[in-house]
Structure 1
Amino acid sequence: MADCNMRAFVAVEITDGKILDSIKNVQNEIKIEAKAVDTQNVHFTLLFLGEITEEMAAKVAERLKTIEFSPFVINFEGVGAFPKPRFARVIWVGIKEGSDELIRLAKSVEERLAVLGFKADKPFKPHATIFRIKGRALDVTERISSCAKINFGTQRVSEIKLKRSVLTPQGPIYSDLEVIHAK
């Protein structure tokens, strides 16, 4: 059987329903010409792996299982944009508390997977994408300024996931390849 390629990434999912409802409300309030990320797909990408084979996915899963981390709490606060609000390509929800732990976790993932040839293309900045802007970058300064201090709530992080991403015209479909629980 041929080895299939797949798009894959390592993520922390947002599982708290109240936080996801708050994100949905903000998506509805920010009126822009952009694709809102389905709330069930909102997550923190710890490391994007790109196209990998099933064989490589199995190796990645084995390496990820060697990561030891304790559960921690993250607090979601504020809305921002990359690369900057005047020329936004992505609108995100940020982290107030727990960002150091999330950064450490992303570093652990990268360190474990470096031996397989994976490396982050830029330093990890804790954010959860809620809009993707296709085409021309937008100035969203005014639209997101009222959201800068919104507190979305807190969530416990107790697992990371190796995820598969299948791109469709309706948006990506994610599935779990491996779940690694905190110790």
Structure 2
Amino acid sequence: MARLFLAISLPAKIKEKLKSLQEDLAKTQAHVRWVRPEGIHLTLKFFGEVPEEKTTQLIKAIEKVLEREKPGLLRFKVKDLGVFPNPRSPRVIWAGLEGDLVKLAKLQRHLEEAFIPLGFPMEKRAFVPHLTLGRIKSPRKRNVLMAKVADYQEKNWSIPDDIEIEEIVLYESKLHPEGAIYTPRKRFPLT
């Protein structure tokens, strides 16, 4: 059994800039468990614990969708900062994306549909492409954090660098006390 998810990895220079953002937000001393910068990614589908034989079926399903769809390069920029579910009771701090979001949503939907026959039901919530930066653990200094997030939103915060995504990755996630460790199991080129 392996804990698996399908995701888009980000270039190191983008992760560095997101790390700087996290460090600035952390100055609020709000009770947040920050995602390790090297682990920041865009999740396409979380599978949970998957037996080895089913992993092989997942890989085949992904390859079939990509062969049929031929998505090509995906281009994005990191833009916007927000929280889920809402600013009154925030639980997750995220950075948003702009760019090939329609193309990405179509690819994600076709992948979701391909996983249904393998016993992985379609996600009930709408696909909202985002990069999780941290999880708020308690109300301590939450109002200070939300004021800082609001400042970033007013400034229309973004990372100006273009991101070109050439592949999606099936990752294995191993949980550790200091945070999850993600290991690529298989890379799937988009071109």
Tell me the TM-score normalized by structure 2: 0.87
Q: Residues 50-70 of structure 1, C-alpha deviation per residue, up to 9 Å, x if partnerless?
A: 111111111101111112221
* Alignment coverage as a number of residue pairs: 178
CA contact (8 A) 1:91 1:132 kept: yes
Q: Distance in 2 between matches of 1:135 and 1:53?
A: 35
Q: How far apart, in 2, do the equivalents of 1:154 and 1:96 lie?
A: 10
Secondary structure at the aligned position of 2:65 is classed as coil
Alpha carbons 2:80, 2:96 under 8 Å: kept: yes
Deviation at 1:101?
2.1
Structure 2 residue aligned with 1:130: 133
- Is 1:89 aligned to 2:84, yes or no? no
Conserved 8 A contact 1:48-1:120: no
Shift of 1:86: 2.1
How much has 1:121 moved relative to structure 2? 3.5
Partner of 2:184: 176
Alignment correspondent of 2:9: 13
Residue by residue, what CA displacement relative to the aligned partner does 1:2-37 show, whole Å, maximum 9, x if unpaired? Answer: xxx22111101112x332121111101112211111
In the other structure, the counterpart of 2:21 is 26
RMSD, aligned α-carbons: 1.6
* C-alpha distance in 1 between matches for 2:100 and 2:34: 25
Using the TM superposition, give the Cα deviation of residue 105 of structure 1 relative to its aligned residue in structure 2, in angstroms.
Answer: 2.1
- Is 1:161 aligned to residue 169 of structure 2? yes
Displacement of 1:83 after TM fit?
0.4
Gaps of 5+ in 2: none
More helix by share: 2
Aligned residues with identical type, % of pairs: 28
Decide which of 142, 147, 150 is 1:142's aligned counterpart. 147
Letter in 2 for 1:6: A
- Using structure 1 for the length normalisation, give the TM-score: 0.90
Instruction: List runs of 5+ in structure 1 lacking aligned partners.
Output: none
Q: Counterpart of 1:41?
A: 39
